[in-house]
Amino acid sequence: MTIRTVETTPYSDQKPGTSGLRKSVKAFQQPHYLENFVQSIFDSVGVAGQTLVLGGDGRYYNRQAIQIILKMAAANGVARVKVGQGGILSTPATSCVIRKYGTLGGIILSASHNPGGPDGDFGIKYNTNNGGPAPEKVTEDLYARSQTITEYKILEAADLDLDRVGDRTLGEMAVEIFDSAQDYQELLESLFDFDRIHQLLTNGSFRMVMDSMHAVTGPYAHAMFEGRLGAPAGTVMNGTPLEDFGQGHPDPNLVYAHDLVDILFGEDAPDFGAASDGDGDRNMILGSQFFVTPSDSLAVLAANATLVPGYKDGLAGIARSMPTSAAADRVAESLGIDCYETPTGWKFFGNLLDAGKATLCGEESFGTGSNHVREKDGLWAVLFWLNILAVRQQSVEQIVQEHWQQFGRNYYSRHDYEGVESDRANTLITHLRGALPTLKGKVMNGYEVDYADDFSYTDPVDGSTSQKQGVRIGFTDGSRVVFRLSGTGTQGATLRVYLESYEANAAKHDHDPQQALKPLIDIAESVASIRSNTGMDQPTVIT
């Protein structure tokens, strides 16, 4: 087999975003596009003689990309690649395998919750040896490399069979096709009381539905809930991964997981519903006629953590992204532990977890996780909830209501304006930044501005800083409005407006969040002129 050196020229748009390089499938199919990025990873991290993990969420182009990456790895002197069977590995399972076997890192092929198929999106992300997304200094290096690339190396060889578990070779390189679920399920079994959850799921009255949204968690969920935990067949819906996710949008929220929402808010609703996204790192939790906001979910998990075997000794700390509600902060305060506020994106949690400063992490964007891996973990969150339900023997709604009674309620909502023209979105943010100095002390709709800034973060572990992570307007009563542009979209810009208010009085907790947040929604419009700047009358997605 010969190694071919192919001449190439840089693509200017290969800067990794919030989670890796995410583009349309068509962009990835341009000549040398994927190869340039992969060679840039190899060059910047140095892979000769090393072991890598490789897998993806099964979306369109996953298999082709895996064959290309394997041949490039062989040509670049990689010693061994561990590939999930069929090229499938959820994002948290990849993180688990990198950590368990101490590999140099791993490559995850996914565009997370973005739609798939020939006209959908594709993505590639490098994770380092702690199992987490590469930190900014690594992604900056690899971007710099992609901008000066002149050639890449690839082995001329036939495609490998990815579907049969076992050891193969490709040139000099060892390729190990392994069972995608085993290591990951073992890790989850070490954290949760599977026997107790088994009792709950087989007690004859408790009913749950898990919606895998035709994406990567299907096989894991079938094996775990219907296999190991004894739930009846049919518990997992949309459980067969499809290259185009059944033409759906595999994002577990109230808008895109509407099949599940209809069931949990319908007649004779089950007790518990959950959904996960394209690559299995996000989760949505529902009770009968009840939605748990991701911010509340993090707070409830934290408050109940000692009921779960893996966390019975308590938490070292909690970390949340800046736009996530402060519900978890109140739990941390009552537990006497630290709560960290990081920029958006899971990569910022890595140092805190590695340093033992935080045990649980969460984002408002349906992401929750812990120090068991270095990614958010959808099925982990589902099992955590089931473990709590099994111990407390109460409904999801009762648990959350009691939580609000104890800690107060953080009303929360995110309004997304998708597909905004990039120039218009940038203008909106620039104007807003310009107006920040004039806002302090101003009273709007009865709310007095306490601070107005652009969030910047200094990592408490390595001292690195990240600027311009979101425009925040905080009010004296603790309410907030936050504006930021998405770093994961592939078409135009997405403006995210995050709204939060706090109500301590349990007697006033029966509001609809949109109602409770109305004054803040109006303030957001008045300071940012969202309608005229975006040309849109209302958000495209409200969660």
String of contacts with ligand G1P for each residue 487-526, x by CB under 6 A: xx-------x------------------------------
For ligand G1P, which residue of 44, 342, 365, 370 counts as binding (CB under 6 A)?
365
Please give the helix or strand (H or E) that residue 51 lies within, else none: strand 51-56
Binds Zn ion (CB under 5 A): choice among 121, 251, 277, 500? 277
Question: Per rule CB under 6 A, is residue 94 in the interface with ligand G1P?
Answer: no
**Part of the chain binding Zn ion (CB under 5 A), chosen from 44-52, 207-215, 269-277, 508-516:** 269-277
Assess contact for 407 and 400: CB atoms under 8 A: no
Identify whether 526 is a catalytic site residue. no
Q: Which does 279 bind (CB under 5 to 8 A by kind): ligand G1P, Zn ion, none?
A: Zn ion
Closest CA to 479 of 456, 451, 457, 506: 451
Of 114-122, 233-241, 273-281, 488-496, the segment contacting Zn ion by CB under 5 A is 273-281
Binding-residue pattern over the window 97 to 126 for Zn ion, x denoting contact by CB under 5 A: ---------------x--------------
Q: Are 132 and 371 contacting, i.e. CB atoms less than 8 angstroms apart?
A: no
| Closest residue to ligand G1P: CB criterion | 486
Please report, as residue ranges, which positions from 288 to 327 form the binding site for ligand G1P (by CB under 6 A).
321
**Interacting partner of 346 out of ligand G1P, Zn ion, none (Cβ under 5 to 8 A depending on kind):** ligand G1P
Look at residue 84 and give the partner it binds from ligand G1P, Zn ion, none, a contact being a CB closer than 5 to 8 Å depending on partner kind: none
19 binds, among ligand G1P, Zn ion, none (CB under 5 to 8 A by kind): ligand G1P
Angstrom distance (rounded) from CA 344 to CA 470: 9
Counting contacts by CB under 6 A, is residue 217 touching ligand G1P? no
CB of 279 to Zn ion, least distance (A): 4
**Residue 17 parent element (H or E):** none
> How far apart (Å, rounded) are the C-alpha atoms in residues 250 and 213?
6
Cβ 96 vs Cβ 121: under 8 Å: no
Residue 486 engages ligand G1P in binding (rule: CB under 6 A): yes
d(CA 315, CA 292): 22
Q: Which of ligand G1P, Zn ion, none lies near 345, with the C-beta cut-off 5 to 8 A by kind? A: ligand G1P
Nearer to Zn ion by Cβ, of 78 and 210: the residue is 210
Distances (CA, A) of 125 to 50, 91, 107, 466, 482: 18, 10, 6, 20, 27
Residue in the structure block whose two tokens are 């996914």: 110
DSSP secondary structure string for all residues of 383-443: HHHHHHHHHH---HHHHHHHHHHHH-EEEEEEEEEEEE-HHHHHHHHHHHHHHHHHHTT-E
Rounded distance, CA 456 to CA 484, Å? 13
Q: And the tokens for 54?
A: 């490789």
> Burial code of 41-73, b = ≥16 C-beta within 10 A, e = fewer?
bbbbbebeebbbbbbbbbbbbbbebbbbbbbbb
Q: 99 or 414, CB closer to ligand G1P?
A: 414
Q: What's the count of helices (H) and strands (E) in the chain, helices before strands? A: 18, 27
Nearer CB in complex with Zn ion: 281/363: 281
Q: Which is nearer to ligand G1P, 273 or 345 (CB)?
A: 345
- For the CB of residue 57, give the shortest distance to ligand G1P in the complex, in Å: 12
Give me the least distance between CB of 466 and ligand G1P, in Å please.
Answer: 13
Report which residue type is found at 246: G
What is the contact mask toward ligand G1P in residues 327 to 346, using x (rule: CB under 6 A)?
-----------------xxx
Query: Can you tell me which of 251, 281, 364, 459 binds Zn ion, judged by CB under 5 A?
Result: 281
Show Cβ contacts of residue 354 under 8 Å, excluding neighbours closer than 6 positions: 130, 374, 461
Binding flag, residue 35, Zn ion (CB under 5 A): no
Residue 496: which of ligand G1P, Zn ion, none does it interact with, CB under 5 to 8 A by kind?
ligand G1P
Rg over CA atoms, the chain:
23
235 belongs to the binding site for ligand G1P (CB under 6 A) = no
Tokens of 396: 């999801």
Catalytic residue among 40, 112, 212, 365: 112
Compute the least distance from the CB of residue 116 to Zn ion, in Å: 12
Secondary structure (3-state) at 238: coil
Sign of CA pseudo-dihedral 388, 389, 392, 394: positive
* The one segment of 1-9, 390-398, 449-457, 482-490 that binds ligand G1P by CB under 6 A: 482-490
Report if residue 279 touches Zn ion, rule: CB under 5 A.
yes
For residue 228, count CB atoms less than 10 angstroms from its CB and return exposed for 0-12, middle for 13-18, buried for 19 or more: middle
List active site positions: 112
Binding interface with Zn ion (CB under 5 A): 112, 277, 279, 281-282
Binding interface with ligand G1P (CB under 6 A): 18-19, 112, 321, 344-346, 363, 365, 367, 486-488, 496
